[in-house]
Structure 1
Amino acid sequence: MSGRRRIVLVQPFRLPEDSEFLTWNVRGEKQELLMNYENLGLGKYLEDVDWDFHPGPLAPYGDWPVENRKEFALVAAARLAIVEELAKSGDYDGIMLLGGGEPGALESREIGREHGVPVTSCATAQFHVAAMVGSKFSVIDLAESHAMYYRNLVRQAGMEQRFASMRLIPYPLGRPGYDDQRNSLPVQKERALAGEKTEAVEAAVDAAESAILEDGAEVITFGCSGTFWLQPFVRAGLKERGWDIPVLEGYSSAFVQLKLLMELGLSASALQFPPDRPDRSRSRIL
């Protein structure tokens, strides 16, 4: 076995292969399975580690992408068993949770701490990187149900003072009840990557500029991982309009954070995630 660190990337869920809402690869090499591998240039973050890809649990609520709180809760519970199995295996030095809404992230960090394995996730990693390079950040997201769930992640991470706003674009992921699947965000993505000018890209650049001018944002981040592909387009669009600010996405932030934790030999504090019977216990928690 090589001396390189070994990590595993875990999808939040997988959809049945016959789902009409499936818009990403479910067969092929791991580079093909990792969403936006080429578009975001993710290879450069993975070239110095050995990595595996886990497709995650079959979505327990239906055959469409996760969006609301109920769906996130069901997905989180289903993914935890996978995280525990991987952390206990001893095969990995780190675990990265894919998915912008990071279902089960806190619980996964608790599992990772128990086994000495750091666990990172996309929202929290973006928040921390954004706080390093600017005073306030805004989030570009899509459906309001997803955005309200994601807004709680900001509070949970203690980033209220660094949060400027959430700006939504009217291009949701495909799911039941959304009649115009032809204009969904995955369709817009396909057109944009083919070199076409698309309404979703323009909407995202407009939203980011509004966040700068009206909300005080100094850094732009993204919510749902279905929006991460927009990162290079928004960065270029803002640059064309004269705004030279950091534009982040969750995958690269979580990769770099995981490498940092592995390098430092850290997983998580046993005071944030106490074992069932700690050697010492506090009598007061503020």
Structure 2
Amino acid sequence: MRLLLIQAFSLPPDSPGAYRRMDGATKEEALMNHAAVAPLLAGVEWDLHPGALAPHGNWPVETREEFAIAGVARLPIVREACESGTYDAIVLLGGGDPGFMEAREIGRRHRIPVTANAHAQMHVAMTLGNRFSFVDISETHNAHMAELVVRYRMAHACASIRNIDHPLPRPAYPAGRVTLKGEAEKHAAGERSGMLEAAVEAAIAAITEDGAEVILLGCSAAFWLREPLQTRLLEAGWDVPVLEGYRCAIAMAKMLVGLGVDASGITFPADPPRHKRRRRFV
């Protein structure tokens, strides 16, 4: 099995929002969540594409406009990978799934499954419980996630999207504004992380007030929250699964390859389609 993991975008080295240096890094060093996903990638041949150089600016994406721009920029990478015949599946990294549905259409033409973080999390969640809630990073990001829930036909299963107000480092926020950046380092150093505390509070509220039975992380940059949040919930007496996108998307790609299936040709018709139905249900 050979997988291609494609990052949502890449930032220039001088970007103040970059989480790590990519120049000269190995694929393991460049993969933000490698330590956690390494067991899933064991025995799998995999490559990592850094994604297109961010066309929207030198900061992470958070608005609908930025997600749309990043999605369009990622599609030629997906097309080239599919046409190469090298890969059995493609995994789109990034919590907001930029370009996912369009990438699935490309993948379907080549019979190659394409997975993405939010989509995979929601479907895995529905094998574990009846309703899920997202713990997400900002008001703007929440709005995008809410639209993905509807687009993926999961509105019936989504209990809530809880905002912990630790946005990505972007020019829209003033200097000194608390953002996501640096919170993982605080936790790793044994310091108190306000982001973790907010996530614990939001997750418990989602369970007790909204009826959530599974907790999902909305932003891939918040991947580090999964283990401490899971631990804190268990300590508080809540035996509720906590999911994050990279692992779910990789696991789903492996499953689809193993089953020998990709997307439905009715959901993603050929161009031109071999059959033309007189009626489509929504």
Residue 41 of structure 2 corresponds to residue 6 of structure 1: no
Deviates more, 1:185-194 or 1:19-28: 19-28
Structure 2 residue 28 is matched with structure 1 residue 31: yes
Conserved 8 A contact 2:2-2:46: yes
CA drift of 1:198 comes to 1.2
Structure 2, unpaired ranges of 5+: none
Please state if 1:95 is matched with 2:90.
yes
Match of 2:53 among 41, 54, 58: 58
Query: Is 1:153 the equivalent of 2:155?
Result: no
Shift of 1:241: 0.6
- Is 69-78 or 275-284 further displaced after alignment? 275-284
AA aligned to 1:84 is R
Q: Could you say which residue in structure 2 is the equivalent of 1:108?
A: 103
Aligned Cα root-mean-square deviation (Å): 1.1
Match of 2:136 among 129, 132, 141: 141
The corresponding residue for 2:211 is: 216
2:13–2:21 CA contact under 8 A, matched in 1:
no
Structure 2 distance, partners of 1:126, 1:148, is 17
Q: 1:269, CA displacement in angstroms? A: 0.8
Unaligned segments of structure 1, at least 5 residues? none
Aligned to 1:215, the other structure's residue is in SS state: coil
Describe the shift of the 1:193–1:181 C-alpha distance in structure 2 as closer, same or farther (beyond 3 A): farther
Task: Report the counterpart of residue 113 of structure 2 in structure 1.
Answer: 118
* Offset of residue 172 of structure 1: 1.1
TM-score of the aligned structures, taking structure 1 as reference length: 0.95
Report the CA distance between 1:26 and its aligned residue.
Answer: 1.1
Q: What is the Cα deviation at residue 197 of structure 1? A: 2.0
| Cα distance in structure 1, aligned partners of 2:274 and 2:105 | 17
Cα deviation, residue 25, structure 1: 3.5
Residue number among 5, 15, 20 corresponding to 1:19 in the alignment:
15
Partners of 2:145 and 2:165 in 1: CA distance: 17
Q: For 1:162-185, what per-residue CA distance to the aligned partner results, in whole angstroms no more than 9, with x for missing partners?
A: 110000112111110322457321
Aligned counterpart, 2:196? 201
1:270 aligned residue: 265
Return closer, same or farther for 1:264/1:181 CA change in 2, 3 Å cut-off: farther
- 2:5 alignment partner, SS class: strand
Stretches of 4+ aligned residues off by more than 6 angstroms: none
Q: Percent identity?
A: 48
> May I ask how many residue pairs the two structures share in their alignment?
280
* Whole-angstrom distance in 2 between the partners of 1:13 and 1:96: 13
Alpha-carbon distance, 1:54 to partner: 0.1
Q: What is the CA-CA distance between 1:112 and the residue it aligns to?
A: 0.4
Q: Are 1:281 and 2:276 an aligned pair? A: yes
Relative distance call for 1:195 and 1:37 in structure 2 (3 A) is farther
1:235 counterpart SS class: helix
